[in-house]
Each structure stands twice: as structure tokens, then as C-alpha cells.
Amino acid sequence: MKEKVEAALNKIRPQLQMDGGDVELVGIEGDGVVKVRLKGACGGCPMSQMTLKMGIERILKKEVPEVKEVVSI
């Protein structure tokens, strides 16, 4: 599952990097919760929760059906 999540994040990463940010996979819980860290401009952006839920989580759930939720730490 980790490889699938990393591959999906690699598809998202270019858009984040265009805005000066990035995303790092921190871990995957057994219950399908993916923990990520938003870095760069994304880390302090007031829209980061929207990016996380409407962007990263939506795409990860589509690409990797085992993902139940994405949380930022």
C-alpha cells in the first residue's frame, strides 16, 4: 500500500511544488489513515486544510481505495 500511496503523491507533488510547497508521507496506519506533512508554502497556508481534504485526500482515495482518511501532522 505504501508504494501505491507514494505513487499517488508523486502525481500531486508537481502542483504543490508550483506554489512553493510539497507533501511528505509520514506513515500509514493499519486502519487506512494516511499521515502526511505539508511542507514549504503549504505548511503555513491558510488554505492547507482545503488542499489536504479536497485535493490530496480525494486523489489518494481514488488511486488507493484502501485509504480511508488523510491527516496532516
pTM of the model: 0.89
CA distances to 15, 19, 30, 46, 67 from 61, in Å: 18, 23, 15, 23, 5
Q: Model confidence over 12-31: pLDDT tens digits?
A: 999 999 989 999 999 999 89
| CATH code of the domain occupying 2-72 | 3.30.300.130
- Answer yes or no: is pLDDT of 46 > 90: no
The residue extents of the domains of the chain are 2-72
